[in-house]
Amino acid sequence: MGDTRGERYDANICSCCFANLTAECLSAGLLFWFFGGTWVPMPNQDRSLYCEDWGEALTNRSEPAICVVDLEIGTASVLEGVPPDVSPGQALWAPGSQAVFFIGWYHEPFRLGLKFCSNRRLESSLFKIDLCGHCERLSGENLSVSNPRLSPDGSTLIYLQGAVFGPHNQCLSLQQVLYLNSSARLSVPGEFAGMYEALPSCCWSADSQRPVCLFFISSFTLFTSVFVSSSSDLSDSSSQLYGSWKLLTVQRDLMVVCCSSPNTPPTLRVGFVPRAGEAVSWQTLQEPLMTFDFNWKVLDVTLPSDEENANYPGLDFGAVLVKPSRPLGETRTPLVVFIHGGPHSQFPAEWNSTTAGLAKLGFAVLMVNYRGSTGFGQHSILSLIGQIGSQDVKDVQRAVLTALERDPNLDPDRLAAIGGSHGGFLACHLLGQYPESYRVCAARNPVINAATLLGTSDIVDWRYTSAGFHYSYDQIPTAEALAAMLQKSPIAHAAKIKAPVLLMLGGRDRRVSPHQGMELYKALKSRGSPVRLLWFPEDGHSLSRVDTQVDCFLNTALWLHQHL
């Protein structure tokens, strides 16, 4: 295949941000884009020349290209005309199949990490390019956009839009571009707490009037049709079995969803998009092979006045408590405090294999959605900016105290803290700020020292934002910023840590350098504190290789059993 950018593209393509290989079979042929694999210099280029990539999970992925295949004559070509400072992706045919919509990520002055970052649509824009190479931008400036989806009749294009920089995952708005004589208008449910997730590739109803979208209410995941005179929740409110509903696709009005709960593994259900005011008749394709006798409930947490955020008062948050129904020969159940990373993500009331495994072993698990988690609105997310290491730590501790107060069967003398990334950051903070409360900790790729992480992370913008500082590409570290980052970090409390710590680190982590965990390891070793480190040289930030996941769970379970 020809390539105008002097690079070779292979089929070993990461799917997390630009997609592995996207193709749409329309009358004009196939449309797809390659997200460059290993960069191969041309003979006249210096092999030692540094080539930027897009960070965590996208190492050696640099410049994608949109390609068009003519099925009639069997040729493939790179679509010319994409601006040179733009990396294209998420392409789809425009009406008439003589032009293409795509999202363009601006990669100047340099690239920042894309994975898990909805604001990294960078600055990104929605473009339209015809087959002759004429390209125009359709969205505004200084925005981050993604997920263009065209209605079946070609009359309406929708896409997600958010702010640039700031929280790297936040509430997104649903935008529309009208073509032909579309009458579609936007309406959202009254309890709407924000859109945070990507749109399914096929999300439109057959009449081109209603896309179906995922949204959150507190710790529950639901979905709704939004382009109707009055929007409606399409989840089955009569069924108490499922805490999470996730839309996978809509095909000719047939919706396919994945449903689960903390005690019910995922199962597929289908139903047709209803007319306005009607309910969906859901059918389960296959009942779960098994359910588990765990008790679970969502806890709403109320803050005392002295823990309120002065700029964003009155915010609520919650947690999901999962317990074995019958403690294994014990009068009180040890509690594992499970903290999500992000920090702008959440623990929905859905199946989680780690939680289920721990509950099966006799542990209660408290999955905390502190302020700053998704599902509680944009003000909740913004409240955490500049408050990491304090507000989020207090929120987790407040959730623990709430659970202990409401459930006398939980053992307050046997508390553990586990989490990854920002969850590991908070777990280690809890050990240092509440050293008498926690007996043991297990942390995966934790942030330990935000100041030393500044120069090694692929999302340097978030390192400034999380500490309360404005970011710009030409930012130079100051003593004030570095001091603030250090003060907000778990390493500042390392000397007070008493509990045994298990660290699990990925050698290829581009988001949080494994040297972060090594820093805590050495601090604890030097003080004779019990610490164990597991090193996974081929893993990145998510520690997602199957054998690694098994290794991490088994070691975590044994570590908890040994020290609780």
Q: Which of 340, 422, 493, 541 is catalytic?
A: 541
Start-to-end CA distance of the chain, whole Å, equals: 59
| DSSP letters spanning 81-143 | ---TTEEEEEEEEPTTSSEEEEEEEE--S-----TT-GGGS-SEEEEEEETTS-EEE-S-SS-
Residues sharing a CB contact under 8 Å with residue 232, sequence separation 6 or more, in sequence order: 189, 224, 225, 274, 276, 277
| DSSP letters spanning 353-413 | HHHHHHHHTT-EEEEEE-TT-TTS-HHHHHHTTT-TTTHHHHHHHHHHHHHHHH-TTEEEE
**H-helix or E-strand spanning residue 516:** helix 514-526
Distance set, CA 457 to CA 119, 348, 446 (Å): 16, 27, 13
470 is catalytic: no
Spatial separation of the C-alpha atoms in residues 56 and 383, rounded to whole Å: 26
Classified as helix, coil or strand, 36 is coil
Nearest to 399 by CA among 352, 421, 426, 366: 366
Spatial separation of the C-alpha atoms in residues 441 and 328, rounded to whole Å: 22
Regarding beta strands 333-339 and 410-420, do their DSSP bridges make them parallel or antiparallel, or are they unpaired?
parallel
* Phi and psi, residue 384, nearest 5°: -85, -15
To the nearest 10 degrees (0 to 180), the angle between helices 391-406 and 422-433 is: 70
In the structure encoding, which two tokens stand for residue 411, read together?
A: 């053992």
Give 527's Cβ-side CA count (13 Å radius): 17
Spatial separation of the C-alpha atoms in residues 123 and 159, rounded to whole Å: 15
Provide the residue count of the chain: 564
Spatial separation of the C-alpha atoms in residues 189 and 371, rounded to whole Å: 22
Residue 304 identity: P
Q: Which of 383, 421, 466, 513 is catalytic?
A: 421
461 is catalytic: no
509 is catalytic: yes
Do 354 and 557 contact (CB within 8 A), yes or no?
no
User: Which residues partner with 478 through β-bridges?
Assistant: none
Nearest to 63 by CA among 144, 4, 143: 4
Spatial separation of the C-alpha atoms in residues 524 and 512, rounded to whole Å: 19
Q: Which of 509, 513, 539, 542 is catalytic?
A: 509
Q: What is the Cα gyration radius of the chain?
A: 24
Neighbours of 277 (CB within 10 A): 9
Residue 48: exposure state from Cβ atoms within 10 A (0-12, 13-18, ≥19): exposed
Catalytically annotated residues: 421, 509, 541
